[in-house]
Amino acid sequence: MSLEGVHRYIDEHRSEALDILRDLVARPSISAQDKGVKECAAHLAALLGRFGIAAEVVPTPTQPIVYGEIIRDPGGYTLLCYGHYDVQPPEPLDLWQTPPFEPTIRDGRLFGRGAGDNKGQLLAHVLAARAWLEAADGPPINLKFVFEGEEESGSPSLGAFVREHRARLAADLVYISDGGLHPSGAPVISLGNRGILGITLVAQGADRDNHSGNKGGVAPNPVLILAHLLATIVDPSGRVLIDGFYDDVRPIGPTEQALLATLDYDPVAFGATMGLPTLPMDGPTYWKRIMLEPYFNVNGFVSGYTGPGSKTIIPARAECRIDIRLVADQTTRDILHKLRRHVATVDPRVQVLERGFGTMEASRTAPDHPAVRVVAQAIRAVRGTAPYINPASGGSLPNVVWPRDLGADHIGVPYANADENNHGPNENLSLERFYDGIHVSAQVFQALADAAAAGILPRQRARGGASR
Ligand SMILES: [Zn+2]
Protein backbone atom coordinates (compact mmCIF):
# COMPACT_ATOMS: atom_id res chain seq x y z
CA MET A 1 0.00 0.00 0.00
CA SER A 2 2.69 2.46 0.93
CA LEU A 3 4.32 2.31 -2.50
CA GLU A 4 1.05 3.39 -4.12
CA GLY A 5 0.84 6.26 -1.67
CA VAL A 6 4.40 7.28 -2.58
CA HIS A 7 3.61 7.31 -6.31
CA ARG A 8 0.46 9.31 -5.60
CA TYR A 9 2.46 11.81 -3.55
CA ILE A 10 4.92 12.21 -6.43
CA ASP A 11 2.06 12.86 -8.88
CA GLU A 12 0.43 15.36 -6.55
CA HIS A 13 3.69 17.27 -6.02
CA ARG A 14 4.81 17.69 -9.61
CA SER A 15 4.71 21.46 -9.69
CA GLU A 16 6.61 21.71 -6.43
CA ALA A 17 9.23 19.28 -7.76
CA LEU A 18 9.58 21.46 -10.85
CA ASP A 19 10.01 24.60 -8.73
CA ILE A 20 12.78 22.88 -6.76
CA LEU A 21 14.52 21.90 -9.99
CA ARG A 22 14.22 25.40 -11.46
CA ASP A 23 15.70 26.86 -8.32
CA LEU A 24 18.64 24.46 -8.45
CA VAL A 25 19.29 25.05 -12.16
CA ALA A 26 19.20 28.83 -11.58
CA ARG A 27 22.32 28.51 -9.42
CA PRO A 28 25.48 28.41 -11.53
CA SER A 29 27.94 25.75 -10.37
CA ILE A 30 30.63 25.69 -13.03
CA SER A 31 33.52 23.61 -11.73
CA ALA A 32 35.80 24.41 -14.68
CA GLN A 33 35.58 28.11 -13.76
CA ASP A 34 35.13 27.66 -9.99
CA LYS A 35 31.94 29.70 -10.29
CA GLY A 36 29.19 29.24 -7.71
CA VAL A 37 30.09 25.64 -6.90
CA LYS A 38 30.42 26.04 -3.12
CA GLU A 39 27.26 28.17 -2.94
CA CYS A 40 25.34 25.52 -4.85
CA ALA A 41 26.67 22.80 -2.52
CA ALA A 42 25.41 24.73 0.52
CA HIS A 43 22.01 25.17 -1.11
CA LEU A 44 21.74 21.49 -1.99
CA ALA A 45 22.72 20.33 1.50
CA ALA A 46 20.16 22.71 3.02
CA LEU A 47 17.51 21.37 0.64
CA LEU A 48 18.20 17.79 1.75
CA GLY A 49 18.05 18.94 5.35
CA ARG A 50 14.64 20.54 4.82
CA PHE A 51 13.35 17.22 3.49
CA GLY A 52 14.50 15.41 6.63
CA ILE A 53 17.64 13.91 5.09
CA ALA A 54 20.71 14.30 7.32
CA ALA A 55 23.11 16.20 5.08
CA GLU A 56 26.35 18.10 5.10
CA VAL A 57 28.87 19.70 2.81
CA VAL A 58 32.14 17.76 3.00
CA PRO A 59 35.16 19.73 1.81
CA THR A 60 37.80 18.12 -0.40
CA PRO A 61 41.08 19.68 -1.60
CA THR A 62 39.11 20.85 -4.65
CA GLN A 63 35.28 21.16 -4.76
CA PRO A 64 33.04 19.98 -1.90
CA ILE A 65 30.87 16.88 -1.92
CA VAL A 66 27.31 17.03 -0.62
CA TYR A 67 26.65 13.95 1.48
CA GLY A 68 23.26 12.92 2.81
CA GLU A 69 21.79 9.80 4.35
CA ILE A 70 18.63 8.20 5.66
CA ILE A 71 19.53 5.22 7.84
CA ARG A 72 16.51 3.06 8.66
CA ASP A 73 18.39 0.02 9.90
CA PRO A 74 22.17 0.17 10.39
CA GLY A 75 22.60 -3.45 9.26
CA GLY A 76 20.05 -3.21 6.47
CA TYR A 77 20.37 -3.04 2.72
CA THR A 78 21.92 0.24 1.63
CA LEU A 79 21.75 2.00 -1.71
CA LEU A 80 24.15 4.84 -2.48
CA CYS A 81 22.89 7.31 -5.09
CA TYR A 82 25.68 9.18 -6.84
CA GLY A 83 25.21 12.34 -8.89
CA HIS A 84 26.96 15.62 -9.57
CA TYR A 85 25.73 19.15 -8.98
CA ASP A 86 28.42 20.92 -10.99
CA VAL A 87 27.80 21.83 -14.62
CA GLN A 88 29.74 22.46 -17.81
CA PRO A 89 30.58 26.05 -18.79
CA PRO A 90 27.58 27.48 -20.70
CA GLU A 91 29.57 29.24 -23.43
CA PRO A 92 28.90 30.17 -26.22
CA LEU A 93 26.08 32.18 -24.66
CA ASP A 94 24.68 33.58 -27.92
CA LEU A 95 23.61 30.10 -29.00
CA TRP A 96 21.17 29.79 -26.07
CA GLN A 97 17.56 30.69 -26.83
CA THR A 98 17.12 31.71 -23.19
CA PRO A 99 19.95 32.39 -20.70
CA PRO A 100 21.53 29.21 -19.30
CA PHE A 101 20.91 30.11 -15.66
CA GLU A 102 17.37 31.44 -16.15
CA PRO A 103 15.56 28.10 -16.42
CA THR A 104 12.65 28.33 -18.84
CA ILE A 105 9.93 25.89 -19.84
CA ARG A 106 9.23 25.38 -23.55
CA ASP A 107 7.65 22.41 -25.30
CA GLY A 108 7.39 20.35 -22.14
CA ARG A 109 11.08 20.75 -21.31
CA LEU A 110 13.03 22.75 -18.80
CA PHE A 111 15.88 24.57 -20.55
CA GLY A 112 18.93 25.54 -18.52
CA ARG A 113 22.54 24.50 -17.94
CA GLY A 114 22.58 21.44 -15.71
CA ALA A 115 18.85 20.62 -16.12
CA GLY A 116 19.64 17.12 -17.35
CA ASP A 117 23.35 16.88 -16.53
CA ASN A 118 22.95 16.28 -13.72
CA LYS A 119 20.72 18.37 -11.43
CA GLY A 120 17.37 16.99 -12.57
CA GLN A 121 18.63 13.43 -12.30
CA LEU A 122 20.15 13.72 -8.82
CA LEU A 123 17.02 15.53 -7.66
CA ALA A 124 14.89 12.60 -8.83
CA HIS A 125 16.53 10.42 -6.15
CA VAL A 126 16.16 13.11 -3.51
CA LEU A 127 12.50 13.75 -4.36
CA ALA A 128 11.77 10.01 -4.37
CA ALA A 129 13.30 9.76 -0.89
CA ARG A 130 11.25 12.74 0.20
CA ALA A 131 8.07 11.13 -1.12
CA TRP A 132 8.88 8.03 0.94
CA LEU A 133 9.45 10.21 4.01
CA GLU A 134 6.21 12.16 3.52
CA ALA A 135 3.81 9.52 2.20
CA ALA A 136 5.10 6.49 4.09
CA ASP A 137 7.23 6.17 7.18
CA GLY A 138 10.46 6.54 5.23
CA PRO A 139 12.23 4.63 2.46
CA PRO A 140 12.25 0.84 2.78
CA ILE A 141 16.07 0.68 2.56
CA ASN A 142 18.93 2.84 3.81
CA LEU A 143 19.80 5.61 1.38
CA LYS A 144 23.05 7.47 1.01
CA PHE A 145 23.62 10.37 -1.36
CA VAL A 146 26.97 11.43 -2.76
CA PHE A 147 26.69 14.53 -4.93
CA GLU A 148 29.98 15.59 -6.40
CA GLY A 149 30.93 19.14 -7.38
CA GLU A 150 33.53 18.48 -10.07
CA GLU A 151 32.47 15.55 -12.21
CA GLU A 152 32.68 17.85 -15.22
CA SER A 153 36.31 18.52 -14.28
CA GLY A 154 37.41 14.89 -14.12
CA SER A 155 36.43 14.03 -10.50
CA PRO A 156 39.93 14.71 -9.10
CA SER A 157 38.96 14.14 -5.44
CA LEU A 158 36.24 11.49 -5.63
CA GLY A 159 38.48 8.43 -5.20
CA ALA A 160 40.29 9.86 -2.16
CA PHE A 161 36.95 10.98 -0.66
CA VAL A 162 35.49 7.50 -1.01
CA ARG A 163 38.59 5.85 0.49
CA GLU A 164 38.70 8.30 3.38
CA HIS A 165 34.99 7.87 4.20
CA ARG A 166 34.75 4.22 3.27
CA ALA A 167 33.04 3.11 6.49
CA ARG A 168 30.51 5.90 6.41
CA LEU A 169 29.71 5.39 2.72
CA ALA A 170 29.41 1.60 3.02
CA ALA A 171 26.70 0.47 0.62
CA ASP A 172 25.50 -2.65 -1.11
CA LEU A 173 24.95 -1.02 -4.47
CA VAL A 174 25.72 2.31 -6.12
CA TYR A 175 23.02 3.79 -8.34
CA ILE A 176 23.95 6.42 -10.91
CA SER A 177 21.56 8.40 -13.06
CA ASP A 178 23.42 10.40 -15.68
CA GLY A 179 23.19 10.65 -19.43
CA GLY A 180 20.25 9.95 -21.67
CA LEU A 181 17.67 7.30 -22.44
CA HIS A 182 17.47 5.51 -25.75
CA PRO A 183 16.53 7.97 -28.56
CA SER A 184 13.12 6.25 -28.76
CA GLY A 185 12.55 7.18 -25.10
CA ALA A 186 12.94 3.55 -24.01
CA PRO A 187 14.66 3.08 -20.65
CA VAL A 188 18.28 1.99 -20.43
CA ILE A 189 20.52 0.34 -17.88
CA SER A 190 24.27 0.82 -18.23
CA LEU A 191 26.57 -1.52 -16.39
CA GLY A 192 29.93 0.09 -16.88
CA ASN A 193 32.31 2.10 -18.94
CA ARG A 194 35.61 1.87 -20.76
CA GLY A 195 38.74 3.42 -19.30
CA ILE A 196 41.02 5.92 -21.00
CA LEU A 197 44.77 6.47 -21.01
CA GLY A 198 46.13 9.56 -22.77
CA ILE A 199 49.67 9.38 -24.14
CA THR A 200 51.88 11.61 -26.25
CA LEU A 201 54.70 10.03 -28.28
CA VAL A 202 57.52 12.38 -29.20
CA ALA A 203 60.33 11.71 -31.64
CA GLN A 204 63.13 14.23 -31.81
CA GLY A 205 65.54 14.13 -34.72
CA ALA A 206 68.11 16.90 -35.06
CA ASP A 207 67.67 20.05 -32.97
CA ARG A 208 66.49 21.95 -36.06
CA ASP A 209 64.78 21.35 -39.41
CA ASN A 210 67.37 20.32 -42.00
CA HIS A 211 67.61 20.60 -45.82
CA SER A 212 66.28 17.33 -47.21
CA GLY A 213 68.69 17.35 -50.12
CA ASN A 214 71.84 18.42 -48.38
CA LYS A 215 71.17 16.31 -45.27
CA GLY A 216 68.78 13.65 -46.63
CA GLY A 217 70.07 10.20 -45.70
CA VAL A 218 72.08 11.58 -42.81
CA ALA A 219 69.67 13.39 -40.45
CA PRO A 220 67.02 11.13 -38.81
CA ASN A 221 63.41 11.75 -39.75
CA PRO A 222 61.14 11.77 -36.65
CA VAL A 223 57.94 11.23 -38.70
CA LEU A 224 59.32 7.98 -40.04
CA ILE A 225 60.51 7.02 -36.57
CA LEU A 226 56.95 7.37 -35.22
CA ALA A 227 55.36 5.77 -38.29
CA HIS A 228 57.54 2.69 -37.90
CA LEU A 229 56.88 2.58 -34.17
CA LEU A 230 53.09 2.86 -34.64
CA ALA A 231 53.18 0.01 -37.15
CA THR A 232 54.70 -2.20 -34.45
CA ILE A 233 51.97 -1.16 -31.97
CA VAL A 234 48.82 -1.72 -34.06
CA ASP A 235 48.25 -3.94 -37.07
CA PRO A 236 46.03 -2.84 -39.99
CA SER A 237 42.99 -4.57 -38.45
CA GLY A 238 43.35 -2.56 -35.24
CA ARG A 239 44.79 -5.45 -33.21
CA VAL A 240 47.23 -4.14 -30.62
CA LEU A 241 50.62 -5.85 -30.83
CA ILE A 242 52.08 -4.70 -27.49
CA ASP A 243 53.20 -7.74 -25.53
CA GLY A 244 50.61 -8.64 -22.88
CA PHE A 245 48.16 -5.90 -23.93
CA TYR A 246 45.16 -8.26 -23.87
CA ASP A 247 46.26 -10.32 -20.84
CA ASP A 248 43.81 -8.77 -18.38
CA VAL A 249 40.87 -8.12 -20.72
CA ARG A 250 37.84 -9.56 -18.94
CA PRO A 251 36.33 -12.29 -21.09
CA ILE A 252 32.91 -11.53 -22.52
CA GLY A 253 30.44 -13.68 -20.60
CA PRO A 254 27.53 -15.54 -22.19
CA THR A 255 25.00 -13.08 -20.74
CA GLU A 256 26.97 -10.14 -22.12
CA GLN A 257 27.23 -11.88 -25.49
CA ALA A 258 23.47 -12.43 -25.49
CA LEU A 259 22.78 -8.81 -24.52
CA LEU A 260 24.81 -7.52 -27.48
CA ALA A 261 22.28 -9.11 -29.80
CA THR A 262 19.34 -7.38 -28.05
CA LEU A 263 20.71 -3.88 -28.60
CA ASP A 264 19.25 -1.65 -31.24
CA TYR A 265 21.34 -1.46 -34.45
CA ASP A 266 20.94 -0.13 -37.97
CA PRO A 267 24.17 0.07 -40.02
CA VAL A 268 22.90 2.87 -42.27
CA ALA A 269 21.27 5.00 -39.57
CA PHE A 270 24.18 4.54 -37.16
CA GLY A 271 26.64 5.22 -39.98
CA ALA A 272 24.76 8.44 -40.77
CA THR A 273 25.23 9.70 -37.20
CA MET A 274 28.99 9.27 -37.76
CA GLY A 275 29.10 10.72 -41.26
CA LEU A 276 29.55 7.35 -42.97
CA PRO A 277 27.32 5.80 -45.66
CA THR A 278 27.04 2.52 -43.74
CA LEU A 279 28.90 0.33 -41.28
CA PRO A 280 30.45 -2.94 -42.50
CA MET A 281 29.56 -5.05 -39.45
CA ASP A 282 26.61 -6.61 -37.66
CA GLY A 283 25.05 -5.28 -34.45
CA PRO A 284 26.74 -7.56 -31.92
CA THR A 285 30.14 -6.78 -33.47
CA TYR A 286 29.42 -3.05 -33.42
CA TRP A 287 28.42 -3.06 -29.75
CA LYS A 288 31.15 -5.48 -28.70
CA ARG A 289 33.82 -3.24 -30.21
CA ILE A 290 32.46 -0.13 -28.51
CA MET A 291 31.61 -1.61 -25.13
CA LEU A 292 33.73 -4.65 -24.42
CA GLU A 293 36.98 -4.37 -26.39
CA PRO A 294 39.94 -2.02 -25.99
CA TYR A 295 40.89 0.39 -28.75
CA PHE A 296 44.17 2.11 -29.55
CA ASN A 297 43.48 5.47 -31.18
CA VAL A 298 45.62 8.20 -32.72
CA ASN A 299 44.05 11.61 -32.03
CA GLY A 300 46.55 13.68 -33.95
CA PHE A 301 49.97 13.68 -35.57
CA VAL A 302 51.95 16.89 -35.86
CA SER A 303 55.21 17.47 -37.70
CA GLY A 304 56.95 19.26 -40.52
CA TYR A 305 55.51 21.67 -43.03
CA THR A 306 52.11 21.50 -44.71
CA GLY A 307 51.63 25.15 -45.67
CA PRO A 308 51.39 26.58 -49.18
CA GLY A 309 54.04 25.62 -51.74
CA SER A 310 56.75 23.31 -50.54
CA LYS A 311 59.48 23.34 -47.98
CA THR A 312 62.00 20.56 -48.47
CA ILE A 313 62.91 19.84 -44.89
CA ILE A 314 63.60 16.93 -42.65
CA PRO A 315 61.51 17.99 -39.62
CA ALA A 316 63.25 18.23 -36.27
CA ARG A 317 60.37 16.79 -34.27
CA ALA A 318 57.19 14.76 -34.56
CA GLU A 319 54.47 14.37 -31.98
CA CYS A 320 51.65 11.90 -31.90
CA ARG A 321 48.70 12.07 -29.48
CA ILE A 322 47.06 8.84 -28.52
CA ASP A 323 44.16 7.73 -26.39
CA ILE A 324 43.81 4.09 -25.47
CA ARG A 325 40.33 2.96 -24.49
CA LEU A 326 40.59 0.14 -21.99
CA VAL A 327 38.12 -2.40 -20.68
CA ALA A 328 37.78 -4.20 -17.35
CA ASP A 329 40.18 -5.53 -15.95
CA GLN A 330 42.96 -3.72 -17.75
CA THR A 331 44.49 -0.88 -15.72
CA THR A 332 45.97 2.34 -17.04
CA ARG A 333 49.08 1.76 -14.94
CA ASP A 334 49.78 -1.69 -16.34
CA ILE A 335 49.08 -0.68 -19.94
CA LEU A 336 51.30 2.39 -19.61
CA HIS A 337 54.07 0.15 -18.28
CA LYS A 338 53.65 -2.29 -21.19
CA LEU A 339 53.60 0.51 -23.74
CA ARG A 340 56.77 2.04 -22.29
CA ARG A 341 58.47 -1.34 -22.35
CA HIS A 342 57.44 -1.84 -25.98
CA VAL A 343 58.70 1.58 -27.05
CA ALA A 344 61.97 1.14 -25.17
CA THR A 345 62.54 -2.13 -27.01
CA VAL A 346 61.52 -1.00 -30.50
CA ASP A 347 62.93 2.52 -30.56
CA PRO A 348 64.33 4.01 -27.36
CA ARG A 349 64.69 7.38 -29.09
CA VAL A 350 60.93 7.92 -28.71
CA GLN A 351 59.65 9.56 -25.54
CA VAL A 352 56.40 8.37 -23.97
CA LEU A 353 54.71 11.24 -22.13
CA GLU A 354 51.68 10.63 -19.95
CA ARG A 355 48.83 13.08 -20.20
CA GLY A 356 47.52 12.78 -16.65
CA PHE A 357 44.30 14.76 -16.96
CA GLY A 358 41.31 12.67 -17.90
CA THR A 359 42.87 9.28 -17.22
CA MET A 360 40.16 6.89 -16.00
CA GLU A 361 39.86 3.22 -15.28
CA ALA A 362 37.36 0.85 -16.85
CA SER A 363 34.67 -0.71 -14.71
CA ARG A 364 31.91 -3.20 -15.40
CA THR A 365 29.20 -4.84 -13.31
CA ALA A 366 28.25 -8.34 -14.44
CA PRO A 367 24.82 -8.45 -16.10
CA ASP A 368 23.99 -11.57 -14.06
CA HIS A 369 24.25 -9.48 -10.89
CA PRO A 370 20.85 -10.07 -9.21
CA ALA A 371 20.26 -6.34 -8.75
CA VAL A 372 20.19 -5.86 -12.53
CA ARG A 373 17.04 -7.93 -12.89
CA VAL A 374 15.46 -6.29 -9.84
CA VAL A 375 16.12 -2.77 -11.13
CA ALA A 376 15.02 -3.74 -14.66
CA GLN A 377 11.69 -5.01 -13.30
CA ALA A 378 11.21 -1.84 -11.26
CA ILE A 379 11.83 0.29 -14.36
CA ARG A 380 9.39 -1.81 -16.33
CA ALA A 381 6.74 -1.44 -13.63
CA VAL A 382 6.95 2.36 -13.91
CA ARG A 383 7.63 2.85 -17.62
CA GLY A 384 5.64 -0.09 -18.98
CA THR A 385 8.58 -1.19 -21.11
CA ALA A 386 11.70 -3.20 -20.34
CA PRO A 387 15.03 -1.36 -20.44
CA TYR A 388 17.81 -1.97 -22.91
CA ILE A 389 20.70 -3.36 -20.89
CA ASN A 390 24.08 -2.07 -22.05
CA PRO A 391 26.96 -4.20 -20.72
CA ALA A 392 29.01 -0.99 -20.71
CA SER A 393 29.18 2.36 -22.42
CA GLY A 394 32.00 3.19 -24.79
CA GLY A 395 33.00 6.40 -23.04
CA SER A 396 34.82 6.85 -19.76
CA LEU A 397 33.38 7.66 -16.33
CA PRO A 398 34.77 7.59 -12.77
CA ASN A 399 32.69 4.51 -11.84
CA VAL A 400 35.72 2.44 -10.85
CA VAL A 401 35.84 4.17 -7.46
CA TRP A 402 32.78 2.17 -6.37
CA PRO A 403 34.12 -1.38 -6.78
CA ARG A 404 37.76 -0.40 -6.20
CA ASP A 405 37.50 2.04 -3.29
CA LEU A 406 34.13 1.14 -1.73
CA GLY A 407 33.73 -2.54 -2.61
CA ALA A 408 30.26 -1.95 -4.08
CA ASP A 409 28.94 -2.73 -7.54
CA HIS A 410 27.37 0.03 -9.62
CA ILE A 411 24.40 0.27 -11.90
CA GLY A 412 23.60 3.18 -14.20
CA VAL A 413 20.01 4.17 -14.96
CA PRO A 414 19.87 7.40 -16.99
CA TYR A 415 16.73 9.52 -16.65
CA ALA A 416 17.26 12.32 -19.19
CA ASN A 417 15.86 12.49 -22.71
CA ALA A 418 18.45 11.44 -25.33
CA ASP A 419 18.39 14.94 -26.87
CA GLU A 420 19.10 16.71 -23.56
CA ASN A 421 21.97 18.61 -25.27
CA ASN A 422 24.17 18.23 -22.25
CA HIS A 423 27.44 20.13 -22.53
CA GLY A 424 25.97 22.09 -25.48
CA PRO A 425 23.76 25.16 -25.72
CA ASN A 426 20.04 24.82 -24.89
CA GLU A 427 20.54 21.94 -22.49
CA ASN A 428 17.14 20.69 -21.42
CA LEU A 429 15.27 18.04 -19.49
CA SER A 430 11.90 16.70 -20.56
CA LEU A 431 9.48 17.25 -17.66
CA GLU A 432 7.87 13.85 -18.24
CA ARG A 433 11.27 12.17 -18.04
CA PHE A 434 12.01 14.12 -14.84
CA TYR A 435 8.78 12.93 -13.20
CA ASP A 436 9.36 9.40 -14.53
CA GLY A 437 12.77 9.48 -12.88
CA ILE A 438 11.28 10.28 -9.47
CA HIS A 439 8.83 7.39 -9.85
CA VAL A 440 11.57 5.02 -11.01
CA SER A 441 13.81 5.86 -8.03
CA ALA A 442 10.89 5.41 -5.63
CA GLN A 443 10.03 2.05 -7.21
CA VAL A 444 13.66 0.90 -7.22
CA PHE A 445 13.94 1.57 -3.46
CA GLN A 446 10.97 -0.77 -2.85
CA ALA A 447 12.14 -3.41 -5.33
CA LEU A 448 15.58 -3.57 -3.72
CA ALA A 449 14.00 -3.79 -0.27
CA ASP A 450 11.84 -6.72 -1.38
CA ALA A 451 14.73 -8.51 -3.07
CA ALA A 452 17.03 -7.94 -0.09
CA ALA A 453 14.35 -9.34 2.24
CA ALA A 454 14.12 -12.37 -0.04
CA GLY A 455 17.88 -12.80 0.31
CA ILE A 456 18.63 -12.64 -3.39
CA LEU A 457 20.87 -9.57 -3.42
CA PRO A 458 24.59 -9.72 -2.69
CA ARG A 459 25.74 -7.61 0.23
CA GLN A 460 28.81 -5.43 0.11
CA ARG A 461 32.14 -7.25 -0.24
CA ALA A 462 33.64 -5.22 2.60
CA ARG A 463 31.16 -6.82 5.01
CA GLY A 464 32.11 -10.29 3.88
CA GLY A 465 29.02 -10.91 1.78
CA ALA A 466 29.16 -12.58 -1.58
CA SER A 467 29.53 -10.22 -4.46
CA ARG A 468 31.34 -10.02 -7.73
ZN1 LIG B 1 28.36 16.06 -18.10
CA distance 161 to 184: 37
Burial 91-127 (b: 16+ CB within 10 A, else e): eeeeebeeebbebbeeeebbbbbbbbbbbbbbbbbbb
CATH 3.40.630.10 residue ranges of the chain are 2-193+362-463
Give me the CATH topology for the region 195-252+292-360.
Alpha-Beta Plaits (3.30.70)
Tell me the per-residue pLDDT of 206-252, one tens digit each, with 9 for 90 and over: 999 999 999 999 999 999 999 999 999 999 999 999 999 999 999 99
| Residue 464 confidence (pLDDT) above 50 | no
Q: 435 C-alpha to center of ligand 1: Å?
A: 20
CATH 3.30.70.360 residue ranges of the chain are 195-252+292-360
What are the φ and ψ backbone dihedral angles of 368, each rounded to 5 degrees? -85, 0
How many Cβ atoms are within 10 Å of 82's Cβ, its own excluded? 29
Reported residue count of the chain is: 468
Report pLDDT for 461. 61
Q: 39 C-alpha to center of ligand 1: Å?
A: 19
Over range 6-14, report the average pLDDT.
Answer: 98
Give me the CATH topology for the region 2-193+362-463.
Aminopeptidase (3.40.630)
What are the φ and ψ backbone dihedral angles of 156, each rounded to 5 degrees? -65, -25
Identify residues whose C-beta is under 5 A from ligand 1, the ion.
Answer: 117
Report pLDDT for 462. 52
| Residue 439 confidence (pLDDT) above 80 | yes
Q: 417 C-alpha to center of ligand 1: Å?
A: 14
CA distance 203 to 318: 5
Over range 422-426, report the average pLDDT.
Answer: 95
CA distance 188 to 35: 33
| Residue 321 confidence (pLDDT) above 70 | yes
Return the minimum-mean-pLDDT range out of 66-80, 104-118, 242-256, 450-464: 450-464
CA distance 351 to 199: 10
Which conformational region is residue 348 in: left (phi greater than 0), alpha (psi within -120 to 50 degrees), or beta?
alpha
| Residue 108 confidence (pLDDT) above 80 | yes
Q: 265 C-alpha to center of ligand 1: Å?
A: 25
Q: 396 C-alpha to center of ligand 1: Å?
A: 11
Tell me the per-residue pLDDT of 185-197, one tens digit each, with 9 for 90 and over: 999 999 999 999 9
Q: State CA 12 to chain mean position distance.
A: 32
CA distance 138 to 140: 6
Q: 422 C-alpha to center of ligand 1: Å?
A: 6
Q: 421 C-alpha to center of ligand 1: Å?
A: 10
CA distance 293 to 194: 9
Question: What is the chain's mean pLDDT, rounded?
Answer: 95
Tell me the per-residue pLDDT of 76-105, one tens digit each, with 9 for 90 and over: 999 999 999 999 999 999 999 999 999 999
CA distance 74 to 129: 17
Report pLDDT for 355. 86
Report pLDDT for 356. 73
Q: 116 C-alpha to center of ligand 1: Å?
A: 9
Report pLDDT for 465. 39
Q: 423 C-alpha to center of ligand 1: Å?
A: 6
How many Cβ atoms are within 10 Å of 180's Cβ, its own excluded? 22
Over range 27-31, report the average pLDDT.
Answer: 98
Q: 156 C-alpha to center of ligand 1: Å?
A: 15
Q: State CA 67 to chain mean position distance.
A: 20
| Residue 25 confidence (pLDDT) above 60 | yes
| Residue 310 confidence (pLDDT) above 50 | yes
| 151: amino acid identity, one letter | E
Q: 179 C-alpha to center of ligand 1: Å?
A: 8
Tell me the per-residue pLDDT of 144-195, one tens digit each, with 9 for 90 and over: 999 999 999 989 999 999 999 999 999 999 999 999 999 999 999 999 999 9
pTM of the model: 0.92
- Tell me if 321 sits within 8 A of 214, measured CB to CB: no
Higher pLDDT, 99 or 466: 99
Q: Are strands 65-70 and 78-84 parallel, antiparallel or unpaired?
A: unpaired
Report pLDDT for 1. 57
Q: 424 C-alpha to center of ligand 1: Å?
A: 10
Over range 305-321, report the average pLDDT.
Answer: 97
Tell me the per-residue pLDDT of 121-143, one tens digit each, with 9 for 90 and over: 999 999 999 999 999 999 999 99
Q: 61 C-alpha to center of ligand 1: Å?
A: 21
The percentage of residues in the chain with a pLDDT greater than 70, rounded to a whole number, is 98
Q: 152 C-alpha to center of ligand 1: Å?
A: 5
Taking the alpha carbons at both ends of the chain, their separation in whole angstroms is 34
